[in-house]
Structure 1
Amino acid sequence: MIHQISSWCLSYPDDDVLSRIDLMRTALDEQRRDAAVQLLGRTVDHLAGEDAMTLRRNYIDLFDLSKRSTLYLSYWSDGDTRRRGSSLGEFKQVYRDSGFLVDLHGELPDHLPIVLEFSARADPGRGVELLEKHRAALELIKFSLLEADSPYAGAVAAVCTTLPSPSPPDRETAMARCRPVPTETVGLEPYDPRLLPIDPTSSRPPIPNPTVR
């Protein structure tokens, strides 16, 4: 339940996502008020309390136009290098091996909402393994969102509480668990999320091509 609601909360807030706010609140209200439920509730309250246009504009600014809080897990360990292609292939292989048809919604396979939905609806065991393998990336996303005072930090923090290993105490410890992010960019153009085709069934607008912060 935590992984599914977090997947919705961290997805682009289109009409489909926003139509589920009451469902998310009901599901959380039925759970014991532990740390994960309280953290996730803050993000759901944020989605309920802002108008749709503001949510969409802020989401694009936070997750699409800046790498400081990108939701693409392998970026944190591989950066913009050829090696990232191998990491993306590992995600795809896990999805194939599960026997489930995984809808990427026009995203890369390491996009956190996709991994969370896979964990919630398809294969919880393999999903948790993927999240645990990329635990350092999750924590770095969490710390970045906390530093930005973003309500989305609650959803990522809630996911972290569901994993078997303890959270690192600070950003420096999380960084130490990641391989150094190299700066090579040659040959990675196909993996730039701004170049992905937009899902025609989605109301998410095309992402402009600004200078990445």
Structure 2
Amino acid sequence: MTNDQRATAWQAVSLLLDYPDETLVSQAAVLRAAAETLPVATGDPLRRFLDHLVATPLAELQVDYVTTFDNRRRCNLFLTYFAYGDTRKRGMALLRFKQVYMAAGVDLGDIELPDHLCVVLEFAATVDGEQGQQLMLDHRAGLELLRLSLHDIKSQWGHLLDVVTATLPALRGDERDAVRRLAAEGPPEEEVGLAPFAAPSFSPNAPSSTAGAGPRPTSLPMPSFPGAR
């Protein structure tokens, strides 16, 4: 898989894992064209999800999205939640994401937490692929538990996590152990305030890095990061 193909896969999943709306449905043809440029391991699951997207009424997609990601602890799109739940340690983990974005020239605003998988994928696709991938690898066990949890409930969204997994190195032994522990115990449950880290997102006025940028085979309908959301 080339860097451009990996970036295309990340960008497509970033779009498709967001809350579905009419704009997303209208972009299905462009996303399918992007999927055609990818290897089988990433292109096939993307096409399977896109088939589901265009065949399902929007209202049903939206209900399914909320039911899947908002009501299930093990289907959480916030990467640090799997390791830290809502504990004090999660605040420091969120700070790590913020520092990575700032080092890449991205200033944070106050809309979305920086560990949301859509945000991380967008950062990896359009700003810094190496650092974005490292953030995912730092939370590899949580990503894998999310993928397995989605497949356990036979969710179509699981195809999108298959795409992400296909762009990452295979799980190591210690990561497999961490997945088993997470599956057995679930995220920590200590409730604390996260006010100092609440809802960081990306400032549309911040400069973005162009290091390693190059022509991509398919232009996806997503604004250039930062400020895409």
1:160-171 correspondence to structure 2 within 5 Å: 160-166=165-171
Deviates more, 1:42-51 or 1:110-119: 42-51
Amino acid at match of 2:161: V
Q: Note if 1:31 corresponds to 2:38.
A: yes
Q: How many percent identity over aligned positions?
A: 37
Give the aligned partner of residue 64 of structure 1.
Answer: 70
Change (3 A) 1:188 1:156: same
Following the alignment from structure 1 to structure 2, what is the Cα–Cα distance between the partners of residues 102 and 11?
A: 19
What is the RMSD computed on CA atoms of the aligned residues?
2.8
Q: Which of 39, 58, 61 is equivalent to 1:55?
A: 61
Distance 1:167 1:54, change over 3 A: farther
Deviation per CA, 1:76-133, whole angstroms, max 9, x where unpaired? Answer: 00011111111111111111111135678x3211110110011111111111111111
AA partner of residue 175 (structure 1):
R
Equivalents in 1 of 2:194, 2:109: separation in Å?
23
**TM-score, normalisation: structure 1:** 0.79
Tell me how many residue pairs correspond in the alignment. Answer: 191
Q: Which letter does structure 1 place at the counterpart of 2:75?
A: S
> Aligned partners of 1:11, 1:183: CA distance in 2, in Å?
25
Cα 1:180/1:55, change in 2 over 3 Å: closer
Spell out, residue by residue over 1:154-210, the C-alpha distance to the aligned partner (whole angstroms, 9 max, x if none). Answer: 111111111123377x976523489973221133477788xx9xxxxxxxxxxxxxx
Determine if contact 2:82/2:182 at 8 Å carries over to the other structure: no
Q: Which residue of 2 aligns with 1:81?
A: 87
C-alpha displacement at 1:138, in angstroms? Answer: 0.6
Paired letter, 1:164: P
Which has the higher mean CA deviation after the structures are superposed, 9-18 or 88-97?
Answer: 9-18
Question: What are the ranges of 5 or more consecutive residues in structure 1 without an aligned counterpart?
Answer: 197-213
* Aligned mate of 2:188, from 179, 182, 196: 182
* Structure-2 change in CA distance of 1:52 and 1:143 (3 Å): same
Structure 2 residue 140 is matched with structure 1 residue 135? yes
Partner of 2:101: 95
Amino acid at match of 1:48: V
8 A contact 2:75–2:150 mirrored in 1:
yes
CA contact (8 A) 2:42 2:163 kept: yes
Separation in 1, partners of 2:196, 2:53:
32
Pick closer, same or farther for the CA change 1:180–1:51 going to 2, 3 Å. Answer: closer
